[in-house]
Structures are given as structure tokens and as C-alpha cells.
A and B are shown apart, each in its own frame.
Chain A
């Protein structure tokens, strides 16, 4: 039989859609962790496609650390409305009461309190048994070995040595009450695949990815955006307007901007192809030890 020559992006799309549908069929209470970045944008787009003509039958959830870029929050609310999905936002109340700030308390404590603990609180409260995440295996070493259906025990812990073998496209979704899965539909996509797909499918992404003049100040060797009045006065003193963009989006004090003149999507891709550093470099979380992500994941980080 003559086989239609399916392109790599189409194959990746079909595989992701199959994963999205399998979760909806297998689980009682799934949700999609929507982190507003480019990977989440692609994941949301695929979910829309998978369940058309209906709306994806699960809510979007966001762990708001209160330190995200302002534009991310506007973009999040706008997209949820456009797509017609419920949006659940959770902020760790203890962290909020303690006024946790990455500037004052450092990235490790902030990430643990506001992201990891916040996420666990939300999962416990809503009893989600499957949560989609936009992580890719090419991002970081410990991800490369993680399953598409990644099992978490009652305490949301990942056990890298005791993962269920995942053969063919058969996913074992069996679990006892209180156990859950993190699901990674974009496991086999690379950063280039993501950008190329965004470009081809015209998927909306926050303009933070595109270069424009922005007020940034050097903090620990990173160019940090002066995004609101919480930016410490002492650090703000030497802030200046530069032509910059972001390769990843997270908490603004922990996300370094890069100098860039890429003002369009093709230019961003161009820059990515010619550049010599990987995308997680802009993130403070990975810097300590090369296995830090693996440790975080065992503690329940996404």
C-alpha cells in the first residue's frame, strides 16, 4: 500500500493526541498544568485538536507563585477564556503569608514553597489523578528517562529506579486511590519541533519570547526584568533598557533575559538554531548541581 509520507511534526502531533485522549478515557479526574510558556501553548493547542468539535474535558490548572511575569498572567486568563476551559489557580497560602520572595529567600526556598509545595497542595485538594505537563525529554538529563505516563506515589514522589516499563503505545494507567500520574504528551518533541509547530500552526505565545526594549538589571549574572515594584531598589539602581527576550518563562526574578534582536517568530527560531547555549541555562534552578532536577522531581516537583 502506498503510505502517505507523514512528516515528523504530524507524527509527533498524532502521538500527542493519542496520549491526551488515552488519559481522558482512563482517568476520573485529569487536569492540565498550564504554565503559559511555549510548551504549554503547544500542549493546549493539541488538546483543542484532540477533542474537537468539543472542548477539552478537563480544567487548566496553574500554580501561581505571584512572581510570574505580569504578561503571563494576562495571557493565561485571555487564553482560558478563548478556549472555553475552566481555569483553576492556586497559590500556597503559607508562602503567601510568609511573603516568600526569590530576591530575599533565594531560588531554592522560593521554588520549594511556591512551586513544589503549592503544586502538591493543589493536587491534594482537587484530587487530580492525572496531570498533564509540557516537559520534553530533550530538556534535561533526568527527563530523558521519564515515562510518558509517569507514576507518582501518595506523596507525589517519583521513583526513577522503579518506573513501569512502557511498551508500544500501551500505557498502564492503573493506580490506587491517592496515587497519581504526571502525563507528558510532548515527551518526544524537541525545542526546535515546538517552535516549528508554533510557527506552522500559528499558535499564540506571550510576546515575552520576542525581543523588544525592556528595563533589565543584572542579578547574579542574569539580566532580570524590572517587572513590578517588588524589584529591590538596590538592584534596580543600575537597571537599563536593553533589547532582550526570554527563552523560557517562569518567575521573573529567576528567569534571565538574553540580548536579542529577534522580533518575529522566524527570527527567534533563527537565533535558536545559531545559538550555542541550551534553553535551561536561563533558569536559576538548574545551576547548583547537574542532578538538581532529578532531586527536585523525587521530591514532587513537576
Chain B
């Protein structure tokens, strides 16, 4: 903020104008207890001037009681929030931290690296577009580095920064840094990880965090903060096919009926033909309403991901919460009772084959069961084995059966419509998180098609021939 203080002092309105248009990047940090993760986040907050004097004073006080840095301020204490975990000296859950530069606001999911806390990492990764994975320069790539990379990759994060920390303890050695890169790629490539950015840092001393390190002239890349400012943001937004899960039917009076929700992918314009899933009904978009303060109503022509809007249709079709609105011209989702998923187990009660769960995907809930566990994946070695139950923090490829046929996308295509959570129907705890890898073909008897008479088939052909602007679908297509 220092460089800006002049502008803040001289012309606050100009400063505000400049800062209205910041971007937002969410990332997660992964590291083990001793990798210096909390110190790194404390350092980022400190270096971007997010720490106020009273907070610093309180941390200085606490450093004397709980700190691990002797007389120095323990920056880790800035982020280790809860009393219980302070006493244990570790972070025990997912915490969210915030800092900003001139260009971006950052939301950091601070997640622990303990083996038993894979679930927390999955939680933090689920909303992040990037991951910073910490490696201790002294120990190099460890089993946990593999685990962190695997879990973040599984959760769909495509931007990885490998922060090689504690360079001060290996004499800022370039060769050590190169070795670690080589070690990393040996296991990362088979995982399908295509790119990762390596940065040698010291969170404790601040080297290559906000400012370039004078001790590592051999390194010509970005500092960590620069790298975070430059990562592409559009990763979450680049799915082309329009997807909108109806969240709430807005019917304040007899004159208005709209469908509120958040666009999870693609774009929609007034006049577009849409198909409702799972019913298959079709209609058109009559109006798109941006959130606004009444009596002002903001009708817009086009809306895109990630907007929260209200859509009005041209016809009175039956649409309710949980249904999807899909642009008819886009690739359509697959409708099925059965999906293959990557399943992360989050609860102490193990997952049992045949067990029934409440499943929540986007805005819809239905019951279903864990049909089978195809393979248990060892998060450390990535070796697959068979299993008939799944313990907390374990990850498996599994088959889940839904009581009702449901539209799905693959998680790789859409993180919202391709994911769901499993809820224990008795305890109501969130017990699992699933990412769709494949929609299994449904048994044909489940979705009986309407039989069309020869007359109806002729009528359809006639309409399609003479009124192409109606965009009527062919009966043959409907039966596919």
C-alpha cells in the first residue's frame, strides 16, 4: 500500500476509481506442519500491509507465549486462529484469509497438510483457481507433496505454484532448487499435471515473496506475489456451454414469474431457445434481470458466468428449483441415474457399499446409494486397490446410483454441474464430495419415450420445412 499512500492522501476519489476494478483470485496453500505455511500467509498479509498495529501487538504478545521464533515475531500466529489449535501449535481446519494488491484481491484458503486432513484440502481446493504448494528446500519433494499435487489436481485446479521454502536454510543454493524441480516432475507428469511454476522463497525472511531476493541472483523468475498477480483468472469461466441451475422461483405477484440462480457456465441472451432438464421441455428467454434495487429493474440483453440473475421465459413452462436451464444450441448434459465419480470421503463414519445418502448437486437434492467402489486410490503412491468401504480422507473411484434420473456434466467440463456432496440422512453431516468423471448410460426402460403417431411425425416434418425460424426439433432427435 505504501506506493499508493500518496494517491490515497492526495486524491482518494481517483484511488477508489482505480480500485473499483480489481480482479479476484482464490487460491489455496498446501503444506505440512513444518513447511512454514502459516508463516508464508502471515508474510503475505504483512508484506501487503494487511496487518494493523493492534493485531501486530497482539501477535507480538502471543509470540512470547506460543511463538517458535524466539524473540522474533512469529508471523504464523497471525493466521493460526482458534485457541485449541494454538495450543497444539497447528492449524486444524480450513481458514480463509484476505489480502489485496493494486491489481487483485486474493482469497486464500489456508488448509492443513496432515494426512488426516485431506478433506480440508479438498474443501479449500473446491473453490480455488490456483494452488501454492510448499516444499521444504531441505527435505525436497516428499510423499505429502505428491498428495497435495494429486488432491488439488483432482479438484480441478490447473494453476500450480511450487514454492520451495526455507531457501535460507540451504544457503540459497541454485542446484538444490533445480534438483527439487526434477524430483517434482518425475511424479507430476504421470498425474497429468502439465504446468507448474517453481519459485525459491523464504517466508521467514521474505525472500522472493513481495520483493526480489538479493541472495538468489541465479533466479530470474517472478516473486510469489507477482506470480499470483499474473495467473490467468478465466479458468473457472471458460466452459462454453450455458448452464443455469434454478435456485429459486421468484413470484412476488401475479404479474411476475422469474427463475433465479447463478450462471455456472457460458452465456445466455434474450431470445435464446432453452431446454429444461430433466423434463426436456423447451422455451425461450424473454428477459434477463440483473440484481437491482426496486423500483429500478435492470433488464439486460446478455448475461454470462458468474452472474446471479433472474431469467424470465416466454412460455408458462413448469420449472422448479433444482431444474437446469440449458441453451438448446449448446452441448446438452447427459441424463442418467448412474455416474462414475472421484469420491473424497470426509467423515469418520466410513462409506459402505449399498449405503443410502442424500445427494446435493447444484440446487437439487435427491436420494441415492453408493453402488460400488471401483478402486481405492492411495493418495501417496497413487496405487489402486480394491475396497469395500472408504475411510475418512480416502479417495476412490466409485459408482453412485441416483433414485431419480438427473442431468450431469463431467467435472472437467463444469465444476458446479459436475460435482455433488453426500449427506448422511440420519446425522445430516456432509460425509462425501464427488466429482463426476463419467455419466453411465441409463437403462433404457427408465425413461420411456413418448410414441408419436404418423400424423404427428408428418406435422413435425411440415413445420420444420416451412417454419425453420421456429427452430422446432426433429422427432428423431427427441428419441435419441
Task: Please list the residues of chain A having a beta carbon within 8 angstroms of any beta carbon in chain B.
Answer: 1, 3-9, 11-15, 17-18, 21-22, 24-25, 45-46, 48-55, 137-138, 141-142, 144-145, 160-161, 163-170, 172, 174-176, 187-188, 190, 192-193, 196, 199-200, 266-267, 269-270, 273-278, 281, 290-291, 294-295
Contacts and interface: CB of A to CB of B under 8 A. Distances in A.
B321 interface: yes
B96 A165 contact: no
Nearest to B97: A144
A277 B308 contact: no
Interface string B79-117: 101111010000011111110100011010010000000
B423 to A, nearest CB: 6
Given A7-B23, A18-B247, A188-B107, A291 B421 contact: no
Given A25-B363, A266-B12, A5 B321 contact: no
Contacts of A174: 358, 423, 428
Task: Give the interface size class of chain B.
Answer: 35 or more
Interface string B42-60: 0000000000111100100
B393 to A, nearest CB: 11
B192 interface: no
A53 B294 contact: yes
Contacts of B110: 144
Contacts of B361: 170
B351 interface: no
Given A142-B82, A165-B430, A172-B430, A193 B308 contact: no
Interface in B399-437: 415-416, 419-421, 423, 428-430, 433
A55 B54 CA distance: 41
Given A165-B120, A165-B430, A273-B8, A52 B54 contact: no
A294 B19 contact: no
Nearest to B297: A53
Contacts of A164: 429-430
Interface string B114-136: 00000110110011000000000
Contacts of A165: 94, 119-120, 122-123, 346, 430, 433
Contacts of A137: 95-98
B185 interface: no
Main secondary structure of the interface of B (DSSP, over half): mixed
A25 B253 CA distance: 17
B462 interface: no
B304 interface: yes
B304 A3 contact: yes
Contacts of A166: 123, 430
Contacts of B433: 165, 167
A21 B362 CA distance: 13
Question: Which 4 A/B pairs are nearest by Cβ-Cβ distance?
Answer: A54-B252, A49-B291, A141-B81, A8-B24
Interface of B: 1, 4-5, 8-9, 12-13, 15-16, 19-24, 52-55, 58, 62, 79, 81-84, 86, 92-98, 100, 104-105, 107, 110, 119-120, 122-123, 126-127, 234, 237-238, 240, 247-248, 250-253, 256, 260-262, 266-267, 289, 291-295, 297, 304-308, 310, 321, 346, 358, 360-363, 415-416, 419-421, 423, 428-430, 433
A144 B307 contact: no
B419 A50 contact: no
Given A1-B237, A54-B251, A290-B62, 13 more contacts: A17-B291, A18-B261, A25-B363, A46-B291, A137-B98, A145-B94, A145-B96, A160-B84, A172-B423, A175-B428, A188-B96, A266-B12, A276-B53
A168 B251 CA distance: 28
Contact of B419 (A4, A144, A170, A199): A170
Contacts of A172: 360, 421, 423, 428-430
Contact of A7 (B22, B94, B310, B416): B22
A274 B13 CA distance: 14
